[in-house]
Every structure is written in C-alpha cells, then in structure tokens.
Chains A and B, each alone.
Chain A
Amino acid sequence: MALVETVPGPTAQHTTLSGEEATAQAERKTRRLRWILLTPALAIICGIGIMPLSIILVYSFMSPGPYAGISWEPTFDAWISLVLERDIFDDTLQLNDAHISILFRSLWLALLTTVLTLIFGFPLAYFIATRPARQRNLWLFMISLPFWSNLLVRTFAMMLFLRDDGYINNVLLLIGLIDKPMILIYTEFAVAVGLVYAFLPLMVMPLYASMEKLDFRLIEAGYDLYANRLQVLRRVIIPLVKPGIVAGCILVFIPAIGSWVTPKLLGGGKGLMVGNLISNQFGTSRDWPLGSAIALFLMLMVMIALIIYVRNSTAARDHG
C-alpha cells in the first residue's frame, strides 16, 4: 500500500485499488455471501412463521363468513367475544363464563403439569445422572420410548386405564378397595394425568442434561460444610441445575397450555382446554375470526409468562 502511494502519476491511481478500498470490497463480498447463505433459513421463518401469523392477525379483525371462513368486514367483535358475550335477550355485554373458565383451566392445568413433571422428573433425572455412564443411555432410551409412538395412540391407551371399566377401577374393585367404579375419565384429573404422562420426558431430558454436567464433588463439599440433605439440594444442586429447570419448565408449559388431543380424549366436556376451544371455532362453531383471536391471545399470554419467568430466574441466579 505504501508503495502504491509513493508511485506518482495517473496510471497507478487508476489501475490499483488502495488497500482500504480493497478491504472494503472484500467485506461487502462476505456480507453478501452471508445473506445468501441465510436465505433458506429466513425463507422458512418468514414462510411458515410470520406469514401464517399475519394471516390470523388479519382474520381476527374480520367478521365470520356465512358457512366458514371470513367475510372481509373489519370489526373488533372477535376480540370482544374472547371474554365477553352479548346477552341473547337484552343484548348487553357480559363476561363469557365459558371462555374464561376454559382459559383459566388451561393455565391451571399447564402450571399443574409443569409443577408435577418437575416434581417427578427431578429425582428421576438425578437418578439417571448418578448411574454408571453405561447404564445412563439405557435409562434415557426408556424415558424417551413413549415418544416413539403417536400421542393419539398413547392417549387411547390412557383411556383403557382410566375408563369406568378400565384397568384401575377393575383392579381396585377386585381387591375390594372400592365397591363401585370411581369416575376417573372425563375429569380435570384425567387431563392432568394425561398431560404429565405425555410431557414428563420433555422435563427429564433438559434436567438430565444439566445434572450430567453437575460436579458431584460440590455436593460432597456441601455436606462437608455442615449442609444437610435438604440444604445441599436447596443451596447447591438446584442453583447449579437451574438452566435445566428453566428449560424443562418452558418445554413442558408451552405445549401443555396449547394441548389438544389429551383434553379432547380424556377431558370430555368438563376438561376442555383452550386448544379445543380454538379448534371448535374452526370446526362446529364456524367462527374463524374468534378462533384466530383466541390463538393470538394464547400466544401473547405464553410470551408474557415466558418473559416474566426467564427474567425472574436469571435475576435470581445473578444474585446467587
């Protein structure tokens, strides 16, 4: 570069780029290449992420069509009827108890599922992580085995257990613990059981991943410094596997709150969740705008919950 500058005359200036210009050009080139390489991923994100979302956003502000679909008349009706309903006699707006109870039930069942999978999954993951290395893969395989079959099939299998003449009632009747079948299926309880069963592996996997990295000598250090079992759990193990707990809770909570098959088959009328409510709008109720509005509302709720949750758990970690 210094050489180029010291050569006088117009030829040098025209035929050679200065060093700065050359690097700038190279940089432009790599930047272009970067965008080209990103294109497939961006296309997927836009095509199957943002586009459909935009469509439901638009639909949610339209009126329902006569048979299905929408008619292009803008209105806030769908968003209003999310939680309110027009009284059929005096036309006043009132809270829509059915929708509100379904929304709360979804939230409650998703939280319950998350807490229960954490309570069952934590010792399970700890157990697997403390097995000799060669046994761990076998345990993980067995934990993930249910994933190999369809959720629908597994839920039908659950029905065989929970039905009035299912295995649980039959066994209890046989040993004389009860004298008439308990009502298990088509209750919130049945949905909770189904959800915990379906999502337990999603909790165990990330928990196991962080427990596997846990330095067990730290646990001994805790015991050595006068911490009893509970204190070691609270002060040493839980803070160290927190990333796994956060990941597991997110992985369980999100699909749980939007679940559809489990409440549909095990919940009956009393166990409907928001997923069923949405699907009803696109099916029998023929109210696509309302279905879109509920779907967006659910997404918004989950996002807010996540932001609060992640912010809290990282703040807690920063403060030790």
Chain B
Amino acid sequence: MTPSKTDSSVDGSVAIEAINITKIFGSGADEVRALDDVSVTIRENEFFTLLGPSGCGKTTLLRLIAGFEHPTAGQILLSGSAIGHLPPFQRPVNTVFQNYALFPHMTVAQNIAFGLEMQGKPRAEIDDTVKQMLLLVRMQALAERQTSQLSGGQQQRVALARALAPRPNVLLLDEPLSALDLKLRKEMQIELKRLQHETGITFIFVTHDQEEALTMSDRVAVMNEGKIRQIGTPREIYDHPGERFVAHFIGETNFVEGELISANGSTGQVRLTSGAEVPASLPAERVAPGRVSLVIRPEHAELTENPDAGVFQGQIDNVVYFGTDTHYYLHLDDGTPFMVRLQNQRDEVSTFARGSRAGVTVKGNAAQVLLD
C-alpha cells in the first residue's frame, strides 16, 4: 500500500463527499483560510476521523457538513446529492458538540426526545426510541435528571443519545472526549466504537489526539493549516506517512537524509549518508531520483553489537527504560539524531550502554520515502 493525498479509490456506498471545499472567514487583512481546497469521500458505516492540530480547520469542516457555515467554494454531497441549499434542520446529520450543548431547561429524557419531537414523530414512537437510547448509552436510571446534575461522562452519553435518537445518516463528533479525564476517555473510546458498530451510522470524529485517532478509526484524514495532508487507514498513515508533517504528527519518528538511486513501482533503493543502501517504500506520487528524506520508526530499527555493522553507525547519548521497552537515543555519525526502541525481555540486561558506539539496522523495507 502506498500513501495518497487524494481519495479516489473508495468502494462501498458514499455517505459524504466534500468536493474542493474552500472556506474563508473575514476579508482583507483579517482573512483566514480555514479550509483550502479540501476533498474527501466518507463511506457509509465508516468510523472516519479528522485528525490535526488545533486551528487546522476540523471544526470548520464539520460545521460545513452540518450546515452552520457555507463553503466559500466547492460543494458537499450527502448520499450523492448536493445539500448546499439545505438549512441545518433539514439535513439528516446530527452533531455531538464539543461542550455537549445539552438543553439545561430539560431533563435527560426531554433532551433525547427533542429531535424526534421536532421531526414530528408520534408520541408513542418517541417514548419508545428514548427508552432504547437510554438503554444504548446505559442511562436508564437517570432519565428524569436535570442535565445540570450530571457528571461530564454522563453528559457525554446524553449528548450521544440525543444526536443518535433521530437516526441520522451521519453523526458528527467534535472532540467529544477532550473534556474527559484519561480513564473516562478510554472508557468512552470503547463505548463510541460499540455505539458505531451497533447503530451502523457513519461517524465523522474530530480529534487532535493521534492515539485516539489510530485506535478508533476505520480511516483517518490528517489535516494541517486547512489542508488534508493524507487519508488512509490508521496502519497506512502510521507505516506509510507521505509527508514530514504526517510522520511527525503521528507517533515518534526518525528522519534521515539519503539519495534515491533506483525506483521500481512502489519500492526503491536509497543510498544513505553512511554509504549503505536500504530498500524503501515510495509514495504514490512519483519521486524523482536524487536527494530524499526518509522516515524510519524507532521500533523498526535495531542495534547491533558490532559498532561498524548495520546501515548507520552512531553513539548512544541516552538510554531510557519504559518497562515494556527501552528507548536508545543516538546521534549518527553525520550528526542526525536517531531513536531506537527495543522490546525488553524479562531479567535481560541491556548490552548497550550510554556513551558506547553501536550500529543500526533497519528491518525489511521499513524505511519510507517522503514527498517533502
């Protein structure tokens, strides 16, 4: 598999399609380009995540889909038809807001019933659905509570139930877990996956937490400065980052320089500054032979006892023990910092000490050539 920036190869039916979306706020000197020519296709029943640092335009993209903002250019299709002219209350899309936005003048059950009432559903059906939703998010006991008397996690569940109750085609979740503490967040991550699985509704999930994105998503779009940098499964994004930003934003990474000397389809041969040659994966877009940057994940490298073996040689500056593994911080002979992560065995004493020299080998073609 090769990394790709565009997203043409989508199979299954399409839930949401954003085509060349640009969104500009303000004008003149205050102009902010929140989204810049963003195209993305989201499949039905998919758990799709928008991942990126704060201010990269994630919320803006959700608000465009929900109908709270209108694109400056481009259009959004829902199940194949344009929805640009529809106000938010006519789009079969619901939102779980970042701060939950529960109605404080209503009970839990009234909050959940709200969307159904506005859709004009008969009372009996509303009561039924509310009961189901309370069961789904495990809040049966608190149906008559005022929302101000709920904990953060409980409010989160009510917000989910309220947004799921009208059975939207697509559920938008804007950093729904960011206000929760770590333990609750882990719990809700599992809960969200379960809800998505049980309801079969397309989830578009926004987060700035890369770990959350990797563990929960079917596919991830990595965003930066209003652009989508890469779209793929968590494994594709992690193993085959296309750009320096993506590689850097997700997981820990080593960047090394080299020279692409031959390319054959999706793999090529790179000569490193040490003179050694390694096989490497190439991005989908053609890369011309010549100087390139490479990504090598710390767990895809190993140390050799013989300081002259391996593809790089360097000196160990620091050794940090983490329980499951140990991190070795080196500087290579050309000055590049490099980190190697080795899994620990029980009662095994490391032979690599701080200050000693070591060689570095790279497993298989774990090296990935970047576009930039």
Q: Is the CB of A225 within 8 A of B114?
A: yes
Query: Does any Cβ of B come within 8 Å of A124's Cβ?
Result: no
Q: Is the CB of B110 within 8 A of A215?
A: no
Q: Is the CB of B101 within 8 A of A320?
A: no
Q: What are 8 pairs between A and B in contact, CB < 8 Å?
A: A218-B104, A220-B97, A221-B95, A221-B97, A221-B102, A223-B89, A224-B66, A228-B89
Taking CB atoms and an 8 Å cut-off, the chain B residues in 146-174 that contact chain A are: 162-163, 166
Query: Does any Cβ of A come within 8 Å of B293's Cβ?
Result: no
Contacts of B90 in A (CB 8 A): 226
Given the known inter-chain contacts A217-B97, A218-B101, please indicate yes or no for A223 contacting B88, CB distance below 8 A.
Answer: yes
Residue-wise, chain B 97-108 has the 8 Å CB interface mask toward A (1 for contact) of 101011111110
Q: How far is the CB of B114 from chain A (nearest CB, A)?
A: 5
Query: Does any Cβ of A come within 8 Å of B232's Cβ?
Result: no
Contacts of A239 in B (CB 8 A): 105
- What are the 10 closest A-B residue pairs judged by CB atoms, nearest first? A225-B115, A226-B118, A221-B101, A223-B88, A217-B101, A227-B118, A239-B105, A224-B95, A226-B89, A223-B89
Please give 12 more A-B residue pairs, beta carbons under 8 A apart, in addition to A224-B163, A226-B90: A217-B97, A217-B101, A218-B101, A218-B103, A221-B101, A222-B103, A224-B88, A225-B118, A225-B162, A225-B166, A320-B106, A320-B107
In Å, the complex CA distance between A215 and B103 comes to 10
Query: Does any Cβ of B come within 8 Å of A270's Cβ?
Result: no
In Å, the complex CA distance between A317 and B103 comes to 13
Contacts of B94 in A (CB 8 A): 224-225
Given the known inter-chain contacts A224-B94, A225-B162, A320-B110, please indicate yes or no for A236 contacting B103, CB distance below 8 A.
Answer: yes
Q: How far is the CB of B108 from chain A (nearest CB, A)?
A: 11
Query: Does any Cβ of A come within 8 Å of B119's Cβ?
Result: yes
In Å, the complex CA distance between A130 and B181 comes to 33
Given the known inter-chain contacts A235-B114, A320-B110, please indicate yes or no for A221 contacting B119, CB distance below 8 A.
Answer: no
In Å, the complex CA distance between A20 and B94 comes to 63
Q: How far is the CB of B167 from chain A (nearest CB, A)?
A: 12
Closest B residue to A217 using CB positions: B101
Query: Does any Cβ of A come within 8 Å of B68's Cβ?
Result: yes
Residue from the list A215, A217, A224, A240 in contact with B89, Cβ < 8 A = A224
Query: Does any Cβ of A come within 8 Å of B355's Cβ?
Result: no
Closest B residue to A220 using CB positions: B68
Say whether chain A's binding surface is mostly helix, strand, loop, or mixed: helix
Q: How many A-B residue pairs have CB under 8 A?
A: 63
Residue from the list A226, A228, A240 in contact with B115, Cβ < 8 A = A226
In Å, the complex CA distance between A225 and B115 comes to 4
Residue-wise, chain A 231-249 has the 8 Å CB interface mask toward B (1 for contact) of 1000110011000000000
Taking CB atoms and an 8 Å cut-off, the chain A residues in 194-225 that contact chain B are: 215, 217-218, 220-225
Taking CB atoms and an 8 Å cut-off, the chain B residues in 205-234 that contact chain A are: none
Query: Does any Cβ of A come within 8 Å of B87's Cβ?
Result: yes
In Å, the complex CA distance between A312 and B316 comes to 77
Q: How far is the CB of A232 from chain B (nearest CB, A)?
A: 8
Closest A residue to B115 using CB positions: A225
Contacts of A227 in B (CB 8 A): 89, 114, 118
Q: How far is the CB of B127 from chain A (nearest CB, A)?
A: 15
Taking CB atoms and an 8 Å cut-off, the chain B residues in 48-102 that contact chain A are: 66-68, 87-90, 93-95, 97, 99, 101-102
Q: Is the CB of A217 within 8 A of B114?
A: no
In Å, the complex CA distance between A222 and B95 comes to 10
Q: How far is the CB of B176 from chain A (nearest CB, A)?
A: 14
In Å, the complex CA distance between A220 and B89 comes to 9
Contacts of A226 in B (CB 8 A): 89-90, 115, 118-119, 166
Q: Is the CB of A320 within 8 A of B97?
A: no
Residue from the list A220, A222, A228, A240 in contact with B104, Cβ < 8 A = A240
Given the known inter-chain contacts A225-B118, A227-B118, please indicate yes or no for A215 contacting B88, CB distance below 8 A.
Answer: no
Interface centre among A217, A225, A227, A228 (most CB of B within 10 A): A225
Residue from the list A221, A223, A228, A231 in contact with B103, Cβ < 8 A = A221
Q: How far is the CB of B109 from chain A (nearest CB, A)?
A: 10
Contacts of A218 in B (CB 8 A): 101, 103-104
Q: How far is the CB of A224 from chain B (nearest CB, A)?
A: 5
Contacts of A215 in B (CB 8 A): 101
In Å, the complex CA distance between A226 and B166 comes to 9
In Å, the complex CA distance between A221 and B163 comes to 9
Q: How far is the CB of B22 from chain A (nearest CB, A)?
A: 22
Given the known inter-chain contacts A224-B89, A225-B118, A225-B162, please indicate yes or no for A240 contacting B101, CB distance below 8 A.
Answer: no
Given the known inter-chain contacts A218-B103, A239-B105, A240-B104, please indicate yes or no for A223 contacting B87, CB distance below 8 A.
Answer: yes
Interface centre among B87, B110, B114, B163 (most CB of A within 10 A): B114
Interface centre among A224, A226, A228, A231 (most CB of B within 10 A): A224
Taking CB atoms and an 8 Å cut-off, the chain A residues in 56-83 that contact chain B are: none
Interface centre among B90, B95, B118 (most CB of A within 10 A): B118
Interface centre among B101, B102, B119 (most CB of A within 10 A): B101
In Å, the complex CA distance between A173 and B264 comes to 91
Q: How far is the CB of A56 from chain B (nearest CB, A)?
A: 42
Q: How far is the CB of A225 from chain B (nearest CB, A)?
A: 4
Contacts of A235 in B (CB 8 A): 114, 118
Residue-wise, chain A 164-207 has the 8 Å CB interface mask toward B (1 for contact) of 00000000000000000000000000000000000000000000
Q: How far is the CB of A217 from chain B (nearest CB, A)?
A: 4
Q: Is the CB of B101 within 8 A of A220?
A: yes
Closest A residue to B107 using CB positions: A320
Q: How far is the CB of A38 from chain B (nearest CB, A)?
A: 34
Q: How far is the CB of B106 from chain A (nearest CB, A)?
A: 5
Contacts of A225 in B (CB 8 A): 89, 94, 114-115, 118, 162-163, 166
Contacts of B93 in A (CB 8 A): 224
Contacts of A224 in B (CB 8 A): 66, 88-89, 93-95, 163
Given the known inter-chain contacts A224-B88, A240-B104, please indicate yes or no for A217 contacting B119, CB distance below 8 A.
Answer: no
In Å, the complex CA distance between A212 and B105 comes to 17
Taking CB atoms and an 8 Å cut-off, the chain B residues in 106-161 that contact chain A are: 106-107, 110, 114-115, 118-119
Contacts of B88 in A (CB 8 A): 220, 223-224
Q: How far is the CB of A230 from chain B (nearest CB, A)?
A: 11
Q: Is the CB of B97 within 8 A of A317?
A: no
Closest B residue to A318 using CB positions: B105
Q: How far is the CB of A307 from chain B (nearest CB, A)?
A: 23
